[in-house]
Amino acid sequence: MTEPPPCVEIDARGEAAGTIIWLHGLGASGHDFEPIVPLLQLPQARFVFPHAPTRGVTINGGLLMPAWYDIATMGTPRGGEDADDVRESAALIAALIAREAGRGIPASRVVLAGFSQGAAMALFAGHRHPEALRGIMVLSGYEVLPHTREAEGQAANRDTPLLACHGTHDPMVPVARAREAYQAYAHPGRPAEWHEFPIGHEVSPPEIAVIRDWLAGRFAAGEERPASS
């Protein structure tokens, strides 16, 4: 069984109503988004910020750094991500979700979130998870292994609420690529939101406000998702 990765955790005040598992971007760490927690005004939630494994990243000259997967090339039709790394990291995410279940928070009360490479993993793993999640949040992200989307998607998360935010001036992940990924998942009947901001590869105060309001809606009193759908 895959062991969950080391994490930075900020626990809820009192009994947790749910958990946000938030995946950092390439070369960052679980501490990257730790300072954002007070701004989200969600004391009833546990925040889990896992650290990605250290691996060589080809586009960065093979430099060792925290990365959910290696990237060999940029801009190719199928993407330059290492498929084995992607699946290895998806297993780490599944282990984190299982650990939350063991702590009394079922998948139906877990939001899977991420930034950049972490956002790509949140979308990939969330779409393929066999239990219904509370939500999927994609910040400055994109889709990896898109050719496997239909074959590997799970019905449990077809209608999971989705939030996607992106900077129109992002030099790392073109907004068109992010929008294409969003449109692949925002089918009719799914609660899905797309927000653009006049920023680069970053998160801005107006974006934080959107994230805060969306998360508040996910953890509103009485909201609960079925264990499967």
Active site (catalytic) residues = 116, 170, 201
Residue position matching structure tokens 């901001």? 197
Angle at alpha carbon of residue 48, lines to 96 and 79, rounded to 5°: 70
**Cα separation, 229 vs 226, whole angstroms:** 7
Structure tokens at 123: 């979308």
Question: Which run of H or E residues covers position 121?
Answer: helix 117-128
What is the helix (H) or strand (E) element at residue 113, kind and residue range?
strand 110-115
End-to-end distance of the chain based on CA atoms, in angstroms? 26
SS (H, E, C) 13-58: CCCCCEEEEEECCCCCCCCCCHHHHHHHCCCCEEEEEECCCEEEEH
Beta bridge partners of 64: 56
Contact of 22 with 217, CB cutoff 8 Å: no
Residue 123's alpha-carbon distances to 13, 41, 141, in angstroms, are 28, 24, 9
